[in-house]
A and B are shown apart, each in its own frame.
Chain A
Amino acid sequence: MRKDAAVGRHALAGVVQFESVGLRYGTGAEVLRDLDFTLSKGSFYFLTGASGAGKTSLLKLLYLAQRPTRGRIRLFGEDLSDLPRDALPDFRRRIGVVFQDFRLIRHLSAYDNVALPLRIAGRSEEEIGSAVREMLDWVGLGDRAGARPATLSGGEQQRVAIARAVISQPELLVADEPTGNVDFEMAKRLLHLFNAMNGFGTTVVVATHDLGLIAAHPGAEIMRLDSGALVDPTGSLRNPPRLDRIEVRP
């Protein structure tokens, strides 16, 4: 995505703003460099790129599992650069994350896993009960509420992870390869869930290799990472491509 276009269109409604952001682990080379972009409220983004391009690292910055080594990140209008560590949980509660490996708590039931964000937020059990049941029904797991992750299939675990990510109606939903472990039909259903969340005003960022998934969501914008930098100078990777920016050679 192009910085000027994004800032021009979405600066006022930006949920996330990256300014010259770089990230390195330890003393190694930068895995992300010079990232400048804005994610606007209520938009849908696909994050693509080859393996090792830095997708997961960028997602970690988005869901506050890492701090950048340089540059500034603004989230929900707040500059996170100088934010004390104690203030981060409040921001994390506004973000839903679907991890590639689900990260369900293995000794908790599907119900308790989905209820976790609400319990952390201090909601009452009565409130939690109805919300969790509704959410499990929504992802088609109403009858598996008492099942532990080990007894669920990969797709079911994926849906529990998604239910957990969206139950608190986050303002930003981040998913890392959410269709990596499911068949195409399930992938379409998951995309339908993300679309539904997006319809409620949630900004969605989905990291994926799955071109079929991208093709199934023509309205989404595409962010492409290559060796730690965002590339798309022409805007041709917009979905559908912005043909006016592509130089057509005779």
Chain B
Amino acid sequence: MIWERLRAGNPEARLLPAEKLHGPTTAVTAIMTFAMVVVAAAGLALANAASAVSAGAENSYIIQIPAAAASDLPKAVAAARSLPQVRSITPVPQSEMRDALKRWLGEAAESADLPVPAMATVELAPGSDPAPVEAAVRKRVAEASFATQSSELKPVLGSLRALQWLALSLVLLMASATAAAIVLAARGALNTHRSTVEIMHGIGATDAQVTRLFERKIAGDSIAGALLGTAGGAIVLLLLGSSLAAAAGGLESAPLGFADAGILALVPLGAVVIAVAVARSTLLRALRANL
């Protein structure tokens, strides 16, 4: 085993007895890393979904005309199309509107008595002012309303952002739980090897030298745990890939990109850094309590 060979070649590493990877540090880091990777991936997918929805709604507007004046929709469309900042304008067919209403009203949506407004979606050139377009449309059809799609999507985007924050909070909470578990593991390790520590102190070892022994062991255990947790998280994410795509709002793009994978790769790294830093400060504090 490479690990054993490294130990054999490193006399300091031999000062603590070799133990298989069954300690609490490995298990705790593996479980927490797994959970953090999955939750962080969900948060990133939600962020991507929110961005995609937001980008799709940007520069998009809706002309809506009440049912009583629905026949004026071509006038409004013509007025808007004549303006240079309008990139495209697409009337929404009545059949499509009724199909949409069918979900809530059933067959009643097909009734001619049901007043169905007329709508058209307008896409403006990026950065252009919508006010002249609205003015031109309302000049031709006074009943027409002109609204941005993003205002319609605001509650949805708000929910997505709230979920993102929730995911981030959960990751931070799990990182804190990992740190707390490492504190207990470090204190436990110190108690288990108290006699070795006392002997080392007695013959002139500094706190830093003693701490380094445990730090090395905790780093090894937490790296193993982080790798196991990341592998488990990656498998789950691959299995849930299709579900995450659905959570991203049925967008064509993948819910997680390469940049997201890079961010997720930082999760196990962060877990190891937290484990080692927390172990170090815990050990130093505990050792200072001795003479």
- Which residues of B sit under 8 angstroms from A85, Cβ to Cβ? 288, 291
Interface check B108, CB cutoff 8 A:
no
Interface-side segment among A27-35, A119-127, A200-208, A229-237? A119-127
Within 8 A of A (CB), among B6-29: 11-12, 14-15, 17
**Is A90 an interface residue when CB atoms closer than 8 A count as contact?**
yes
Cβ contacts A43-67/B at 8 Å (1 or 0 each):
0000000000000000000011111
Q: Could you say which residues of chain B place their CB within 8 Å of the CB of A65?
A: 202, 291
- Which residues of A have CB within 8 Å of B11? 112, 115, 119, 125
Q: A120 contacts B209, CB within 8 Å?
A: yes
Residues of B190-213 whose CB lies within 8 A of A: 195-196, 198-207, 209
CB contacts (< 8 Å) of B203 on chain A: these are 92-93, 97, 116-117, 120, 164
Q: Could you tell me if A121 and B202 are in contact, using CB atoms closer than 8 angstroms? A: no
Q: Is A88 an interface residue (CB 8 A)?
A: yes
Bound-complex Cα distance A121 to B12 (A): 12
- In the complex the two chains form, what is the Cα distance from A119 to B207 in whole Å? 15
Contact: B204 with A89, CB < 8 Å? Answer: yes
CB of A244 within 8 A of chain B?
A: no
**Number of A-B residue pairs with CB-CB distance less than 8 Å in the complex they form:** 57
Which partner residue on chain A sits nearest B200 by CB separation?
Answer: A120
Q: Report the count of interface residues on A (CB-CB < 8 A).
A: 28
B212 to chain A, nearest CB (A): 11
**Does A107 have its Cβ within 8 Å of any Cβ on chain B?**
yes
Contact between chains at A89 and B199 (CB < 8 Å): no
Do A105 and B196 have beta carbons less than 8 Å apart? Answer: yes
**In the assembly, what is the distance between CA of A145 and CA of B196, in Å?**
20
Are A108 and B15 touching (Cβ within 8 A)?
A: yes
> B198 contacts which chain A residues (CB < 8 A)?
103
Residues of A within 8 A of B201 (CB): 89, 92
A93 B14 Cβ-Cβ under 8 A? no
Give B264-290 interface residues, CB cut-off 8 Å to A: 288
For the complex, what is the distance from the CA of A88 to the CA of B206, rounded to whole Å? 8
Closest to B18 in A: A107
In the bound complex, how far is the Cα of B280 from the Cα of A108, in angstroms? 24
A104 to B12, CA, bound (A): 16
Which residues of chain A are near B17, meaning CB under 8 Å? Answer: 107
A108 touches B202 (CB 8 A): no
Give, as a whole number of angstroms, the nearest-CB distance from B20 to chain A: 15
Residues of A within 8 A of B207 (CB): 86
User: Which A residues are in CB contact (< 8 Å) with B195?
Assistant: 103, 105
Q: Which one of A66, A90, A105, A164 has the greatest number of beta carbons of chain B within 10 Å? A: A105
Give the distance to chain A from B11, nearest Cβ to Cβ, in Å.
Answer: 6
Query: Bound state CA distance, A119 and B205, in angstroms?
Result: 9
Residues of chain A in range 91-113 having any CB-CB distance to chain B below 8 Å: 91-93, 97, 103-105, 107-108, 112
Docked CA distance A63–B199 (Å): 12
**CB within 8 Å for A92 and B196 given contacts A107-B17, A112-B11, A112-B14:** no
A120: chain B residues within 8 A (beta carbon): 200, 203-205, 209
Question: Closest chain B residue to A63 by CB distance?
Answer: B202
Q: A92-B204, A107-B14 are in contact. List 4 more A-B contacts (CB 8 A).
A: A65-B291, A89-B206, A97-B203, A103-B199
A–B pairs, 30, beta carbons within 8 Å: A64-B291, A65-B202, A66-B291, A67-B291, A85-B291, A88-B291, A89-B201, A89-B206, A91-B204, A92-B201, A92-B204, A93-B203, A93-B204, A97-B202, A97-B203, A103-B195, A103-B198, A103-B199, A103-B202, A105-B15, A108-B14, A112-B11, A115-B11, A116-B199, A116-B200, A116-B203, A117-B203, A117-B204, A125-B11, A164-B203
- Ranked nearest first, the 8 interchain pairs of A and B with the lowest CB-CB distance are A93-B204, A92-B204, A107-B17, A89-B204, A120-B205, A89-B206, A117-B203, A103-B199
Interface residues of A (CB under 8 A from B): 63-67, 85-86, 88-93, 97, 103-105, 107-108, 112, 115-117, 119-121, 125, 164
